[in-house]
Amino acid sequence: AQHFLGRIGAHGALGAFVALDADVTLAQARAADEKLAAGGAPALTGVPIAHKDIFVTTDFPTTAGSKILAGYRSPFDATVVRKLAEAGTVTLGKLSCDEFAMGSSNENVAVPAVGFDVAAPVRNPWDGSRIPGGSSGASAAVVAARLAPAATGTDTGGSIRQPASFCGVTGIKPTYGRASRYGMVAFASSLDQAGPMARSAEDCALLLSAMCGPDLDRDSTSIDRPVEDFSRSLSGTLEGLRIGVPKEFLGDGVAPGVRAAIDAALGEYEKLGAKRVAVTLPRTELSIPVYYIIAAAEASSNLSRFDGVKFGHRAKDFYDPSNTKKSALEQMYEMTREEGFGDEVKRRIMIGTYVLSHGYYDAYYLRAQRVRRMIADDFQQAFKECDVIAGPAAPTVAWKIGEHGDDPVADYLADIFTLPGSLAGLPGMCLPAGFGENNMPVGLQLIGNYFNEAKLLNAAHRFQ
């Protein structure tokens, strides 16, 4: 813990940590030392980890990257945080992320990092002028920069897999329902999942086993199925493994350097005994409008709890007595949200409110739900012909900070390869596959059928 705190201090310019408290971290580390000395301590005892600031924690403040949660301190730990602590981890601090996990670049940040006066995008350790990806951008950046051996992330539409790809680290999002969402600040509840980001599939296996498991009393979508010890599944052979490559995942929109790295990785898999088969996911493109309707709809509902009454920020001097149309309470809600939410969050709330409103619900929300079902069915068709699906996690390498400017749709379109698996609730992971344009990392995405995390981790481990 001391070693990593030192590195975190030396590399503060990455802007990755939004909360640090050396006293808390070192107290946890001393307790771990005592447990190790006593013997019989669990496998992760003393292993330092940093948590995405979307998980609530008692020992550190929680902001979800938003001004609206300024000053908020949770009275309980998220289940994932608690389970990792029970497995022995030591918390290094909290990590920056896109506000409420809405974003693909870690540029939608409203909370200044430790040592900064103003909020700034997290930097990619491979090239500080580029984004680390998002929304778990800082989680990927700290593992890549060796500021932490492991970090937690969350993935609603790709937020573990895409930053893993952009920073050259390994990350896995389990089957929807495997990891408890209790204490994860909610963005889109039917999609949100937690997962680990680390240097290898082996590390991810250890962490994922500790993070997952039923939490039926606290999360109504938690699945009642015991977790496996994923570490024990890392010795399987790849002989005969059918790797399905959807033709839609290697189309014209993919950068040549990314395509070359993916092709080379698939070639390596063939040398390891796997078979490459062509499959199709015909509704890949539709996953973008479908996701951005459903995720916005759920976000607009989830974020209604941030009203200045129960949590965090409340506007001051909100009352204008000359405004006879609105009560003092309504004026307080309005000004709190105006001040507290960033532009992208407001955009999603407006889109979500619109698609759920009377007269538009059938045309947008209901139709999106129908296509979501078809996307899930397409995967089941594909899995008749293959054991895992492979392709890039993103069409390009990490772009420059500011490159997408004020065009949110440019970010949305870049999510095309992670959204289908998210909409279907399937497990997905990303592992380093080589380098593409500008010598930036390229990740190989592997998608498995429900509960096939072990298969994914084994395939990634054999490759590494």
R_g over Cα of the chain: 21
Three-state DSSP at 340 gives helix
Q: How many residues bind ligand GLN (CB under 6 A)?
A: 13
Tell me how far apart the alpha carbons of residues 41 and 44 are, in angstroms, rounded to a whole number: 8
CB neighbour burial string for 406-423, b if at least 16 within 10 angstroms, e if fewer: eebeebbebbbbbbbbbb
Tell me how far apart the alpha carbons of residues 347 and 123 are, in angstroms, rounded to a whole number: 25
Among 104, 135, 165, 209, which one carries the catalytic annotation?
135
Helix (H), strand (E) at residue 201: helix 201-211
Q: Is 105 a catalytic residue?
A: no
Residue 179 binds to ligand GLN (criterion: CB under 6 A): no
CB of 463 to ligand GLN, least distance (A): 24
CB of 348 to ligand GLN, least distance (A): 8
CB of 232 to ligand GLN, least distance (A): 29
Closer residue to ligand GLN, CB minimum distance, 387 or 415: 415
Tokens (6 digits) for 44: 């992760």
Tell me how far apart the alpha carbons of residues 437 and 259 are, in angstroms, rounded to a whole number: 10
CB neighbour burial string for 63-90, b if at least 16 within 10 angstroms, e if fewer: bbbbbbbbebebeebbbbbbbbbebbbb
Write each residue from 411 to 430 as x if it is in contact with ligand GLN (CB under 6 A), else as -, in one continuous string: ----x---------------
Sign of the torsion formed by the C-alpha atoms of 82, 202, 435 and 379: negative
Q: Map the footprint of ligand GLN across residues 110-139, applying CB under 6 A.
A: 135
Residue 28 binds to ligand GLN (criterion: CB under 6 A): no
CB of 50 to ligand GLN, least distance (A): 17
Stretch that binds ligand GLN, among 21-29, 33-41, 157-165, 377-385 (CB under 6 A): 157-165
Selected from 65, 157, 257, 448, the binder of ligand GLN by CB under 6 A is: 157
The separation between CA 236 and the C-alpha centre of its own chain, rounded to angstroms, equals 27
Secondary structure E strands in 43-107:
48-52, 90-95
Could you tell me which residues come within 8 angstroms of residue 27 by beta carbon, excluding any fewer than 6 positions away?
Answer: none
Among 52, 83, 173, 455, which one carries the catalytic annotation?
52
Select the residue whose beta carbon is closest to ligand GLN and give its number: 159
Q: Map the footprint of ligand GLN across residues 352-381, applying CB under 6 A.
A: none
Closer residue to ligand GLN, CB minimum distance, 378 or 415: 415
Q: Is 35 a catalytic residue?
A: no
Residue 395 binds to ligand GLN (criterion: CB under 6 A): no
CB of 130 to ligand GLN, least distance (A): 17
| Widest pairwise Cα distance in the chain | 75
Residue 102 binds to ligand GLN (criterion: CB under 6 A): yes
Stretch that binds ligand GLN, among 97-105, 255-263, 364-372, 377-385 (CB under 6 A): 97-105
Residue 104 binds to ligand GLN (criterion: CB under 6 A): yes
Q: Map the footprint of ligand GLN across residues 41-80, applying CB under 6 A.
A: none
Q: CA nearest 400: which of 157, 91, 131?
A: 131
Q: Is 135 a catalytic residue?
A: yes
If one counts every other C-beta atom within 10 angstroms of the C-beta of residue 91, the result is 25
Residue 300 binds to ligand GLN (criterion: CB under 6 A): no
Residue 103 binds to ligand GLN (criterion: CB under 6 A): yes
Cβ(386)–Cβ(120) under 8 Å?
no
Selected from 66, 74, 89, 159, the binder of ligand GLN by CB under 6 A is: 159
Residue 95 binds to ligand GLN (criterion: CB under 6 A): no
Give the binding site for ligand GLN (CB under 6 A): 101-104, 135, 155-159, 187, 295, 415
Q: Which residues are known to be catalytic?
A: 52, 135, 159
